[in-house]
């Protein structure tokens, strides 16, 4: 049985909104877009490459899918170390507003009930499925008890507001730390097993 692994960049105060670019997601007037880039170093870049290349496929929310589908098919040569896997491996998209066929190669919509669709994917043989970004999808998978592992890069910055990774549903969800590293920029790369 395959695992579902979430790969997320977050601020120390749990914000995941608009990590890469100033105008990536300005919902709610978010003024701090692009907060993540300065915290990359060789260790964290290798972590990203290992996660992307080690996946058997990707689970993506609509927003992340649209950003990725607009960028990765025509990514520059220096980004091909990531683009090759992202463009060729299967991508399963959770959306109620997109319609088949999806434009990005090897991308399909998750059919019907998301829980049933992800359970079916987990039951298949092969390498683990990785959720990249997609905080709404990560929250849904946590609630449905379908997320096996959280891999977080926690940047040493507070942005004071914005979309957060975890909701306020009042549920108790134990995690077990399985690895932790500190980058040269002060970011922490941590992996937690969910529900153990």
Rounded mean pLDDT, 64-75: 96
pLDDT score recorded for residue 148: 97
Domain span holding position 142: 4-194
For residue 189, give every residue at least 6 positions away whose Cβ sits within 8 Å of its Cβ, in sequence order, or none: 43, 44, 47, 151, 152, 153, 154, 179, 180, 181, 182, 183
pLDDT score recorded for residue 102: 96
pLDDT score recorded for residue 164: 93
pLDDT score recorded for residue 171: 85
pLDDT of 98-148, one tens digit each?
999 999 999 999 988 999 999 999 999 999 999 999 999 999 999 999 999
Count Cβ atoms within 10 A of the Cβ of residue 28 and give its class: 0-12 exposed, 13-18 middle, 19 or more buried: exposed
Total number of residues shown for the chain: 196
Alpha carbon distance 144, 180 (integer Å): 26
Q: How many domains does the chain have?
A: 1
The enclosing domain of 147 has a CATH number of: 3.40.430.10
pLDDT score recorded for residue 168: 83
pLDDT value at 196 more than 70? no
Comparing 147 with 169, the larger pLDDT belongs to 147
pTM of this prediction? 0.95
């Amino acid at each position: 049985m395959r695992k579902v692994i979430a790969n997320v960049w977050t601020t120390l105060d749990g914000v995941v909104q608009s990590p890469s670019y100033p105008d990536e997601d300005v919902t709610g007037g978010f003024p701090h877009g692009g907060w993540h880039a300065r915290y990359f170093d060789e260790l964290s870049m290798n972590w990203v490459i290992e996660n992307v290349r080690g996946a058997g496929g990707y689970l993506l929310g609509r927003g992340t899918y649209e950003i990725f589908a607009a960028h990765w098919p025509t990514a520059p040569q220096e980004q091909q170390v990531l683009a090759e896997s992202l463009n060729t491996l299967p991508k399963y998209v959770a959306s109620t507003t997109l319609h088949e066929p999806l434009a990005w190669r090897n991308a399909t919509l998750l059919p019907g009930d998301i829980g049933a669709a992800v359970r079916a994917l987990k039951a298949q043989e092969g390498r683990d499925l990785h959720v990249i970004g997609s905080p709404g999808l990560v929250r849904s998978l946590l609630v449905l008890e379908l997320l096996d592992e959280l891999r977080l890069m926690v940047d040493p910055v507070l942005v004071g507001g914005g979309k957060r990774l975890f909701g306020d549903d009042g549920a108790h969800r134990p995690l077990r730390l399985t690895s932790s590293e500190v980058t040269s920029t002060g970011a922490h790369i941590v992996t937690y097993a969910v529900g153990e």
